[in-house]
Amino acid sequence: MPNRLDPAIEIIKAKADEAFNKNDFVVALFLHTFLSNNDPGNGIYHLGRSVTNLRLQRWSDAAKDATKALELCEAKVHKAKAHFRRCQARRELNDISGANEDLEAFLFNGGAPKTASVEAQKLKATPRSANETVLEDITDVATLFSNTLDLADNNPDAVYEIRSASGKGLGAFAVKRLQRGDLILTETPMVPVDDTTPYNVVTGFKQLSPKNLARCLLLHNAHPEIGLFEGIYNTNGFAQAGVVLDASRFNHSCSPNARYTYHEPSKQERIIALTDIAEGEQIYVSYLQGRNVYASPRSKRRQTLSSRYGFCCQCTACDDANFEESDCRRQEIGMIWESLPMMIDGRKMLMSVVRAITLMREDGYLGDADDFAVDAAAVCAGYSDWESCEYWAKFAYENRAAEFGADHPHAEHSRQILDKPQSRENHPQAGLFPRRIYKDIRLPREM
Ligand SMILES: C[S@@+](CC[C@H](N)C(=O)[O-])C[C@H]1O[C@@H](n2cnc3c(N)ncnc32)[C@H](O)[C@@H]1O
């Protein structure tokens, strides 16, 4: 049942009119199609789309819409418009007797005689015939007019392509081999929203141009029940960035091969490779962050993903064959993370960090090891083991640079620690405890 009170509807109608008045008929067609798909029993949308189709010279579609409007609209004024539009479409389709019937019905429903007489003259002229496919759904419109709507990927340097990802809607796939640390995407958010109250979300969409609104309406909506714009926002919005068109097409995995990150200085969303990725491989990010993914069992992750995004995760970590082992590792990582602040023994703490990072690697989770390495560097600083401190700070820096970009504030912060490990500014506890050396505690070589 369409929610006619959803504020999104009035906004989309206004944007459709705006596009039409600017002769941006493809966008208007898209938006009218969206509206009529959303509320098929409302004849006004068919009436609106019939004139847009006339402008696009899509005669069969225009006639079909006018017929539908005649079926659904009660008011004479609407019926008159629908007959007139169908008359014009039929004229172009060479159906002169049908067009004449519509012209009579136009007059009968109060249409202006002067307009009718101009049209009657045109009906006497030889018509052209046209042959088109009928566009019924917004995806049909989007496919036919993907260039006009700027949906086609025109960036020759793009390292990914968006296409069907069986059972997961659309997804992003590598078009060349990628390495850990490679920048996959950098994109300006389309709907930035600082505060995600419903009002702000609706206002964010309202500010879009008709074309950009059309592009956003194509995004997946896992929550149509909560309002159109909020549903799209909640399914696709990124923390800090909001809705980012291409980035929103990347599917989720609990063992992702890429991560998304917001780069505040440039106000852009980025996606960076966490692992090497083969050409043709699907690129996955994790919709869950930090401990919610690397330190949570499958049941908890699935519950969150299902309620927020409406799907049951079947990634390699959630797969039935692997999940129990993966759960054991992730639960242990979680316990280590919880217990680190309580550990008073530096050696024990560093051994726990090594264990946690080893478990992450065994699980194929190649993000966030820096969370642990930063703590390890702080412990070594506390015991004045500057060589070990540097070792962990370097590890944290290199991982952050690869995962977020070297110019990201996270990486810059680790860089500062690396440059001045002894500074109290970087490590408030630097040199506080009796000196101890932990050179023997290092990570095993990368597997
Ligand atoms: C942000 S969108 C991702 C792009 C989406 N596939 C599309 O076609 O636009 C989130 C939606 O993608 C689908 N999705 C993402 N990851 C998935 C996965 N691992 N398994 C199944 N569906 C997934 C779900 O429908 C989810 O609500």
Domain boundary among 302, 332, 360: 302
| 219 CA: nearest ligand 1 atom | 9
Query: Is 286 a pocket residue for ligand 1 (Cβ < 6 Å)?
Result: no
Question: Tell me, what's the pLDDT at 42?
Answer: 94
Is residue 12 domain-shared with residue 89, that is, in the same domain?
yes
Is residue 163 domain-shared with residue 297, that is, in the same domain?
yes
Burial of 61 (0-12, 13-18, 19+ CB in 10 A): buried
- Report d(CA 396, CA 371) in Å as an integer: 8
What is the percentage of the chain residues whose pLDDT exceeds 70? Answer: 97
Is residue 178 domain-shared with residue 295, that is, in the same domain?
yes
Find out whether 371 and 290 touch, Cβ atoms under 8 Å. Answer: yes
Query: Is 170 a pocket residue for ligand 1 (Cβ < 6 Å)?
Result: yes
- At residue 185, the 3 state secondary structure works out as strand
How many CA atoms within 13 Å lie on the side-chain side of 391? 16
What percent of the chain is helix, strand and coil (3-state, nearest 5)? 55, 10, 40
- Report d(CA 125, CA 232) in Å as an integer: 49
pLDDT band, residue 418 (cuts 50/70/90): confident
Residue minimizing CA distance to atom 21 of ligand 1: 168
Is residue 184 domain-shared with residue 276, that is, in the same domain?
yes
- Report d(CA 213, CA 435) in Å as an integer: 61
Q: For all residues of the chain together, what is the average pLDDT?
A: 91
Sheet holding 258-263, edge to edge: 183-187, 268-273, 258-263
User: What residue numbers bound the domain in which 366 lies?
Assistant: 310-419
Question: Tell me, what's the pLDDT at 425?
Answer: 79
Is residue 291 domain-shared with residue 352, that is, in the same domain?
no
- The per-residue pLDDT for range 191-211, each reduced to its tens digit, is 877 778 888 999 999 999 999
Question: Tell me, what's the pLDDT at 2?
Answer: 67
Q: Is residue 223 part of a domain?
A: yes
Find the 169 Cα to ligand 1 centroid distance in Å: 6
Query: Is 236 a pocket residue for ligand 1 (Cβ < 6 Å)?
Result: yes
Q: Is residue 443 part of a domain?
A: no
Q: Is residue 125 part of a domain?
A: yes
- Report d(CA 226, CA 4) in Å as an integer: 13
Question: Tell me, what's the pLDDT at 157?
Answer: 87
Query: Is 252 a pocket residue for ligand 1 (Cβ < 6 Å)?
Result: yes
pLDDT band, residue 139 (cuts 50/70/90): confident
Write out the H or E segment, with its range, that includes residue 238: strand 237-238
Is residue 205 domain-shared with residue 323, that is, in the same domain?
no
Task: List the CATH number of the domain containing 383.
Answer: 1.25.40
Residue minimizing CA distance to atom 19 of ligand 1: 252
Q: Is residue 439 part of a domain?
A: no
Domain boundary among 84, 104, 132: 132
Tell me the best of 216, 251, 298, 304 to mutate to test the pocket of ligand 1, counting ligand atoms within 8 Å of each CB and taking the most: 251
Find out whether 316 and 389 touch, Cβ atoms under 8 Å. Answer: no
Find the 246 Cα to ligand 1 centroid distance in Å: 13
Beta bridge partners of 260: 271
Is residue 95 domain-shared with residue 78, that is, in the same domain?
yes
Sequence-distant (≥ 6) Cβ neighbours of residue 14 within 8 angstroms: none
Looking at the predicted structure, is the pLDDT value of residue 255 above 60? yes
What is the rounded (10 degree) CA torsion for 332, 337, 340, 346? 70
Is residue 286 domain-shared with residue 158, that is, in the same domain?
yes
Question: Tell me, what's the pLDDT at 133?
Answer: 66
pLDDT band, residue 125 (cuts 50/70/90): confident
Burial of 6 (0-12, 13-18, 19+ CB in 10 A): buried
CA angle 232, 238, 242 (to 5 degrees): 70
Q: Is residue 425 part of a domain?
A: no
- Report d(CA 124, CA 116) in Å as an integer: 13
Domain boundary among 302, 334, 349: 302
Which of 151, 153, 121 shows the shortest CA–CA distance to 139? 151
Query: Is 282 a pocket residue for ligand 1 (Cβ < 6 Å)?
Result: no
Residue minimizing CA distance to atom 7 of ligand 1: 170
Question: Tell me, what's the pLDDT at 127?
Answer: 53
Query: Is 222 a pocket residue for ligand 1 (Cβ < 6 Å)?
Result: yes
Find out whether 54 and 62 touch, Cβ atoms under 8 Å. Answer: yes
DSSP code per residue over 286-331: -SS-THHHHTS-HHHHHHHHHHHHS----STTTSTTTHHHHHHHHH
Is residue 153 domain-shared with residue 284, that is, in the same domain?
yes
Report the amino acid identity of residue 24.
Answer: D
Is residue 118 domain-shared with residue 154, that is, in the same domain?
no
Residue corresponding to tokens 């408030």: 428
Tell me the best of 139, 217, 223, 252 to mutate to test the pocket of ligand 1, counting ligand atoms within 8 Å of each CB and taking the most: 252
Is residue 252 domain-shared with residue 155, that is, in the same domain?
yes
Q: Is residue 432 part of a domain?
A: no
Query: Is 85 a pocket residue for ligand 1 (Cβ < 6 Å)?
Result: no
Question: Tell me, what's the pLDDT at 432?
Answer: 87
Query: Is 169 a pocket residue for ligand 1 (Cβ < 6 Å)?
Result: yes
| 253 CA: nearest ligand 1 atom | 19
Domains: count for the chain: 3
Query: Is 311 a pocket residue for ligand 1 (Cβ < 6 Å)?
Result: yes
- Report d(CA 105, CA 111) in Å as an integer: 8
Find the 205 Cα to ligand 1 centroid distance in Å: 21
Q: Is residue 122 part of a domain?
A: yes
Is 0.90 surpassed by the pTM of this model? Answer: no
Our measurement of the distance from residue 365's CA atom to the centroid of its chain's CA atoms, rounded to an integer in Å, reads: 23
Residue minimizing CA distance to atom 23 of ligand 1: 168
Backbone angles phi, psi at 446, to 5 degrees: -50, 135
Find the 250 Cα to ligand 1 centroid distance in Å: 7
Rg (the chain; Cα; Å): 29
Which tokens is 1 given? 């049942």
Task: List the CATH number of the domain containing 239.
Answer: 2.170.270.10
Task: List the CATH number of the domain containing 62.
Answer: 1.25.40.10
Sequence-distant (≥ 6) Cβ neighbours of residue 166 within 8 angstroms: none
Query: Is 248 a pocket residue for ligand 1 (Cβ < 6 Å)?
Result: yes
- Report d(CA 147, CA 140) in Å as an integer: 13
- Tell me the average pLDDT across 299-318: 95
Is residue 212 domain-shared with residue 356, that is, in the same domain?
no
Query: Is 388 a pocket residue for ligand 1 (Cβ < 6 Å)?
Result: no
Query: Is 68 a pocket residue for ligand 1 (Cβ < 6 Å)?
Result: no
Tell me the best of 168, 236, 253 to mutate to test the pocket of ligand 1, counting ligand atoms within 8 Å of each CB and taking the most: 168
Looking at the predicted structure, is the pLDDT value of residue 185 above 90? yes
How many CA atoms within 13 Å lie on the side-chain side of 276? 2
Q: Is residue 394 part of a domain?
A: yes
